Structure 1
């Protein structure tokens, strides 16, 4: 069969399976089988596809028809223009998290004070945030996750991008592994923040059927993990440190209340703001911590 025949097959069968964007999916899957870009595929439309590549493509196509994400099928996802290994042990990196990283980098570069303490990537998953921060800031990073399987993926990505000497991977339930020494000046996190209501109502099949629940479930209102992080901040964060946490698009008002002086955060937080993404949705909780009364 020719390239064009297989692409038409993918578009038709994915549409019949209820998968949106089947033409693009087919191009990505066949391109991976032939080691060709989408442009190269179009230029090679009349090329006969080798039998082994055809068989692999058809296996990939069957998996995609069952709504398995392409990133898991191919074992890779681009983030920050870099390739990252992914599997069902970790969330697939998303553009929303690139926005989180952008905000962190914008804050770090002009502020000398953040160079005085350690940097923490909490709930690190695939290690994408830790790797990018290590590369962009040329700093050592401590990356924490509760899942051994996720940390194994993060380790592969650190080695792939040659930052394994600068990223220390720690298995822990949030901040429980750290002594009360206030060593961190910057905390970055993409924690579980999907509410139980959203989980009950149903997520997209690609998410609900394949991505790890442990990395999604944020409790009844989606804020349980962030509330736990709040309690630990004065224990491990340096006075005047900064916190950047990815959040859900409707969680901004609740988080402003959580970190308001009336909620007991007067001595903890100097300023709190919700940063909106490029679509105008709440996306990042940013905290500037106080001097803790000193």
Structure 2
């Protein structure tokens, strides 16, 4: 009891530094930590009646940006009380993207530090390990902002529903699944950039302009990225790619392993192979990144 009281006093003192002294406060994620683009996190999980998720017409929680991995360092910009819960507006170098309203996390997921701790260490797994992780995610759900295929079961305790949930609803509530770039992010242990806006220039380019699906497929190597702003496919071997794609109300929704030529042919009905993404749209590129890290 005395130890808990001491921790509470320290936490209050640290919060006071942010609120009253406008000094920076740092926090480190204790476990996988969902990061949102709204401070109204409780409204996302349950709404006013505590029974529904705040989803779009495709069943996605657009309020979720990504899931920070354990050890992620945050700078706390602001402390907010929402419905009696402490929520923190934060930034992190693990997610260097702008947001109109900022990024927010539940206080329960982090521990505080007076001084800036070290950034989360990033170690590149072996190629075979990354491929094994990618394949293990096959048939996972598509989750906007998701990068933990098995989800976060603790969400059921931290934001409990006011009714019994079906298995499918439990998976949605616990962010059980990955989006396209989240699939790669989880497989690499957070080594690669989180969003496709960064992946389109990550590593080095493979020259594909003017080539056919067959010619492009012949030039690909494992872990090459077939990517454009908004989507990425990851090469598994000379014949297969893996991707997580959102197809509303369709059984093909989620993580699937596909034939490379088939995937390229489908992509090239709408997009043109290019050696770089220009300011326009309608292009895709191939980025080779793993060889640059070995």
State if a TM-score over 0.5 links the two structures: no
**Structure whose residues are more often strand by fraction:** 2
**Structure whose residues are more often helix by fraction:** 1
User: Which structure would you say has the larger RCO, counting Cα contacts within 8 Å and 6 or more residues apart?
Assistant: 2
Q: TM-score, normalised by structure 2?
A: 0.28
Q: TM-score, normalised by structure 1?
A: 0.28
